[in-house]
């Protein structure tokens, strides 16, 4: 099979299209013929080994000179090709989507995945749309539901509302009955409004931390403000959910991890809830996201698609072109 692999850290130039043996499913796995795979910021972080602190914090993912897993990519959608002896939920030909977690391997023609991280594909979506959901949709769902504990009528601000996670977060927050404010650039104002945002702040013109309005939940997907600035935008008992962010500058020591660490250190001493999101894949959340998609409450937004052979260009586009919504690779 064809796959995008790397053996050392670096720019997208280190990624190569190679011919590898087709994987064989373990007893608890399904073998999926991949039709589409999503590109996430996580992919360029691992590709570059950036920030350096991640190499110490996540040794199962980051090696010293290159990633532990050879094939990049985490989100996929496709058809089941074969099932392991213990798998009873799926059969050959089923249309599925899933999240490989730290195992990676989706930028390939075939992938093996534990059946606990795979779900039936939303019936109303294309493979490309379905592949866009798992990591970004799960991050938005867990950040708002599990960490932010968003309730109907609350005021929620999404910092980075036009990004891969942000476009899901706007829609999911609306499905929870929140009044949603999205922060984005001028070119993306119409996009986030079309997703249901009640208010849009163009960060090139206005600063949400100085506008005087306060929010019950601030979901930060950018990491471009200090904790003091974020707290200024919170109600007295508000919640700040921190979920990474950062841009591809190359060679950063700590990057967005520093903000997460500072937030966790300060949280016990202030009234605000300052919480770092750690998302984890699983079939329950994939099922919840499928229900949101099939009910029409969530629709994935795709900026561009690239063929598998152009995966390096897809990651480069995500890094430097301020891609909005999702970038997807077709296989």
pLDDT tens profile 28-51: 999 999 999 999 988 988 898 877
Count of other CB atoms within 10 angstroms of residue 214:
15
Distances (CA, A) of 329 to 9, 79, 93, 194, 239: 21, 16, 21, 24, 35
In the chain, the N- to C-terminal Cα span, in Å, equals 11
Residues in a beta bridge with 180: 156
DSSP label of 21: P
Share of the chain above pLDDT 70, in %: 94
Q: What is the mean pLDDT of residues 129-152?
A: 97
All structural domains of the chain, each given as residue ranges with its CATH number in brackets, are: 2-133+300-330 (3.90.180.10), 135-276 (3.40.50.720)
Predicted pLDDT at 276: 87
Q: Is the pLDDT of residue 251 over 60?
A: no
pLDDT tens figures, 153-205: 999 999 999 999 999 999 999 999 999 999 999 999 999 999 999 999 999 99
Assign 134 a pLDDT band (cuts: 50, 70, 90): very high
C-alpha to C-alpha distance for 273 and 238, rounded to whole angstroms = 6
pTM: 0.93
Do the Cβ atoms of 146 and 175 come closer than 8 Å?
A: no
């Amino acid at each position: 099979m064809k796959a995008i692999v790397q053996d050392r850290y670096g720019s997208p130039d280190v990624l190569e299209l190679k011919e590898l043996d087709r994987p064989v499913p373990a007893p608890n796995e399904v073998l999926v013929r991949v039709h589409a795979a999503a590109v996430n910021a996580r992919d360029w972080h691992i590709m570059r080994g950036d920030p350096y602190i991640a190499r110490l914090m996540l040794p199962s993912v980051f090696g010293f000179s290159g990633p532990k897993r050879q094939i990049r990519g985490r989100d996929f959608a496709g058809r089941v090709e074969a099932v392991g002896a213990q798998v009873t939920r799926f059969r050959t030909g089923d249309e599925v989507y899933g999240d490989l977690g730290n195992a990676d391997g989706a930028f390939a023609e075939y992938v093996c995945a534990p059946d606990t991280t795979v779900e039936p594909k939303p019936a109303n979506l294309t493979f490309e749309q379905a592949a866009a959901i798992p990591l970004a949709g799960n991050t938005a769902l867990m950040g708002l539901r599990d960490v932010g504990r968003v309730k109907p009528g609350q005021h929620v601000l999404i910092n980075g509302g036009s990004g891969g996670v942000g476009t899901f977060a706007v829609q999911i927050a609306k499905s929870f009955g929140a009044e949603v404010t999205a922060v984005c650039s001028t070119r993306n104002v119409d996009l986030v409004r079309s997703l249901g945002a009640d208010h849009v702040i163009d960060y090139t013109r206005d600063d949400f931390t100085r506008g005087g309005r306060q929010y019950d939940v601030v979901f930060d997907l950018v990491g471009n403000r200090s904790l003091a600035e974020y707290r200024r935008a919170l109600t007295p008992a508000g919640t700040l959910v921190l979920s990474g962010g950062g841009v591809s500058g190359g060679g950063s020591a700590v990057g967005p991890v520093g903000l997460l660490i500072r937030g966790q250190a300060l949280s016990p001493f202030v009234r605000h809830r300052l919480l770092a999101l750690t998302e984890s894949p699983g079939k329950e959340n994939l099922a919840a996201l499928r229900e949101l998609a099939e009910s029409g409450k969530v629709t994935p937004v795709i900026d561009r698609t690239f063929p598998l052979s152009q995966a390096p260009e897809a990651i480069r586009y995500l890094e430097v072109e301020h891609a909005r919504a999702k970038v997807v690779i077709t296989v």
